[in-house]
């Protein structure tokens, strides 16, 4: 569904250039539910915006649903945003028109695309997200969580191949956030490919695959442990405190890895040099000893 290779994004102003993505590599298969996590400024929202056709990459390769986002014309990009991707924003004002009721909001994308049986499908989508009883309600009468569930229905109106969500639980309480992720999980069980950006590490523990972005590159992945894979909706599991996933450092195409910052801090490195050893089938990294540093300095001077 998504193939990104060596993806670069540079934002330019008169005074400076900002490198938001620095050679990002990522593949997402059809039918996957993937979460993107990372600190503010790591590049995760930039990446999501490019997949959504809202921003153009500067360099690299980006193919989504078989469509090359580097070669699209403006009209092809409009069609792509209408047919291939659905977007759920954190800010509900970008998802909903306040002067329309819930049903009319969900029908609107289908009106634009000329779809048939709009009302019937809109009602089915509202039922799917548990909001059919609010079909005649307008924005001002709904809570933030209710608005966000309607936003998911809107994003699904044109049956997109890929559902994108940027911090969809950022402005709701824990219970509503759990409910929203349960909706995503149910959609995924029915075959919907989903990519969600979230800052909530505890919620991401319910996702089968979590990709961490640091400094504009993929740094690590977390994969749901097999023992939890069929227990997503069990209320007995404390998803916020249990260790549900196994973490892997990701090697890029040049053989480079990003070592977690907390590990580097524990090593107490004086500079940016590490000793790499291969021993008993394992690659070991350690801080250099004084004699090794002296040998390295002598080599550099000579």
Q: In 155-294, at which residue ranges do the beta strands (DSSP E only) sit? A: 162-166, 193-197, 209-214, 217-224, 245-249, 275-279, 282-286
What are the residue boundaries of the structural domains of the chain, listed by start? 29-56+73-267, 268-302
- Here the tokens at position 106 are 């969900």
The residues with which 193 forms a beta bridge, in sequence order, are: 162
Question: How far is residue 182's CA from residue 82's CA, in Å, rounded to a whole number?
Answer: 25
With beta carbons less than 8 A apart as the criterion, state whether 284 and 278 touch: yes
What separation in angstroms does the CA of 263 have from each of 56, 168, 285, 287, 290?
A: 35, 31, 11, 11, 20
Provide the angle, in degrees to the nearest 10, between the axes of the packed helices 102-113 and 74-83: 140
Cβ neighbours, 10 Å, residue 192: 20
What predicted TM-score, i.e. pTM, was given to this entire model?
0.82
- Write the DSSP string, 241-265: TS--EEEEEPP-TTS--PPPHHHHH
Tell me: the pLDDT tens digits for 7-32?
998 888 777 888 888 888 999 999 99
Given CA atoms 127, 133, 136, 140 in this order, what sign does their dihedral have?
Answer: negative
- Here the tokens at position 285 are 């990294």
Whether 251 shows a pLDDT value over 90: the answer reads no
Cβ neighbours, 10 Å, residue 113: 14
The total number of residues written for the chain in this structure: 302
Tell me: the pLDDT tens digits for 61-115?
999 999 999 899 999 999 999 889 999 987 777 778 889 999 999 999 888 777 7
The residues with which 162 forms a beta bridge, in sequence order, are: 85, 193
Report how far apart the first and last C-alpha atoms of the chain are (Å, whole number).
52
CA angle 244, 196, 228 (to 5 degrees): 20
pLDDT band at 234 (very low <50, low <70, confident <90, very high): low
CA angle 233, 103, 179 (to 5 degrees): 15
The 3-state secondary structure of 94-106 reads HCCCCCCEHHHHH
Which residue in 19, 20, 24 sits closest to 3, CA to CA?
Answer: 24
The residues with which 87 forms a beta bridge, in sequence order, are: 164
Tell me: the pLDDT tens digits for 115-171?
777 889 999 999 999 999 999 998 889 888 899 999 999 999 989 999 999 988 887
Q: Is 53 helix (H, G, I), strand (E, B) or coil?
A: coil
- Here the tokens at position 281 are 């089938």
Whether 301 shows a pLDDT value over 80: the answer reads no
CATH number of 29-56+73-267: 3.40.50.300
Q: Classify strands 193-197 and 282-286 as parallel, antiparallel or unpaired.
A: unpaired
Mean pLDDT to the nearest integer, 292-297: 57
The residues with which 13 forms a beta bridge, in sequence order, are: none
Tell me: the pLDDT tens digits for 36-60?
988 877 888 889 999 999 888 889 9
Tell me: the pLDDT tens digits for 184-199?
989 999 999 999 998 8
């Amino acid at each position: 569904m998504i193939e990104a290779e060596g993806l670069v994004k540079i934002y330019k102003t008169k005074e400076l250039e900002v490198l938001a993505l620095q050679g990002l590599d990522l593949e997402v298969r059809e039918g996957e539910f993937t979460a993107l996590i990372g600190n503010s400024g790591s590049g995760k929202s930039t990446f999501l915006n490019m997949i959504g056709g809202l921003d153009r990459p500067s360099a690299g390769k980006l193919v989504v649903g078989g469509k090359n986002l580097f070669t699209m014309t403006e009209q092809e990009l409009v069609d792509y945003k209408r047919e291939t991707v659905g977007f759920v924003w954190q800010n509900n004002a970008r998802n909903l028109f306040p002067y329309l009721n819930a049903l009319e909001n969900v029908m609107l994308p289908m009106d634009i695309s000329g779809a048939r049986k709009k009302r019937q499908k809109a009602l089915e989508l509202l039922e799917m997200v548990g909001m059919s009883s609010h079909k005649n309600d307008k924005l001002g009468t709904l809570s933030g969580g209710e608005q966000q569930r309607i936003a998911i229905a809107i994003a699904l109106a044109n049956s997109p191949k890929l559902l994108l969500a940027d911090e969809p639980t950022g402005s709701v309480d824990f219970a509503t956030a759990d409910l929203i992720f349960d909706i995503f999980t149910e959609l995924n069980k029915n075959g919907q490919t989903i990519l969600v950006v979230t800052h909530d590490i505890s919620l991401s523990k319910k996702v089968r695959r979590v990709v961490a972005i640091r400094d504009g590159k993929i740094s690590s992945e977390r994969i749901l442990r097999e023992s939890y894979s069929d227990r997503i909706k069990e209320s007995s599991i404390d998803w916020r405190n249990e260790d549900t996933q196994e973490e892997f450092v990701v090697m890029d195409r040049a053989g480079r890895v990003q070592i977690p910052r907390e590990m580097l801090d524990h090593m107490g490195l004086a500079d940016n040099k590490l000793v790499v050893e291969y021993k008993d089938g394992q690659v070991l990294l350690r801080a250099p000893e004084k004699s090794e540093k002296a040998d390295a300095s002598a080599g550099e001077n000579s």
